[in-house]
Chain A
Amino acid sequence: MKKEKLHSIAPILSYIKKKKNNFKTPNGYFNTIDNVVITKLKAEAIQHKEQDLIPKDYFDSIEDTVIAKIQHLENTKKSKNTLIKYSIPIAIAASILLIFNIFNKTEALTFDSIETAEIDAWISNNLNEIPPTQIATIYSNIELDYEDFSTQLTEEEVFDYLQKEGLENILIEE
Chain B
Amino acid sequence: MIDDKLLIVQLKNPETQEQAFRNLISFYKRQLYWHIRKIVLSHEDADDVLQNTFIKVYKNINSFKGDSKLYTWIYRIATNEAITCINKKAAHQNIDISELQYKMAENLSDDDLYTGDEIQVLLQKAIVSLPQKQQLVFNMKYFDELKYSEMAEILNTSVGALKASYFYAVKKIEAFLKTH
Contacts and interface: CB of A to CB of B under 8 A. Distances in A.
Contacts of B167: 1
Residue among A1, A23, A30 with max Cβ neighbours from chain B (10 Å):
A23
Contact of A13 (B58, B113, B116, B173): B173
Contact of B142 (A17, A26, A36, A40): A17
B177 A1 contact: no
Interface of A: 1, 6, 9-13, 16-17, 19, 21-26, 29-30, 33-34, 36-38, 40-41, 44
B123 A10 contact: no
Interface stretch (B5-13, B23-31, B65-73, B82-90): B23-31
A32 to B, nearest CB: 10
A24 B113 contact: yes
Contact of B113 (A9, A26, A36, A44): A26
A36 B51 contact: yes
Contacts of B25: 33-34, 37
B92 interface: no
10 contacts: A9-B174, A10-B173, A10-B174, A12-B178, A13-B123, A16-B119, A19-B120, A24-B112, A33-B29, A41-B58
Given A13-B170, A16-B120, 7 more contacts: A1-B166, A9-B171, A12-B177, A13-B174, A19-B116, A29-B43, A38-B21
A36 B22 CA distance: 11
Interface residues of B, number: 37
Interface string B150-180: 0000000000000000110011011001100
B37 A23 contact: yes
A1 B55 contact: no
A29 B30 CA distance: 10
Contacts of A10: 170-171, 173-174
Closest 4 CB pairs of A and B: A22-B116, A10-B174, A24-B113, A12-B177
Nearest to B42: A23
B34 interface: yes
B141 interface: yes
A13 B142 contact: yes
Given A10-B173, A37-B54, A16 B123 contact: yes
Interface string B39-80: 000010001001100110010000000000000000000000
Contacts of B50: 33
A33 B27 CA distance: 12
B177 A13 contact: yes
B29 A34 contact: yes
A30 B43 contact: no
A38 B22 contact: yes
Contacts of A44: 55
B119 A37 contact: no
Contact of A1 (B26, B29, B112, B141): B141
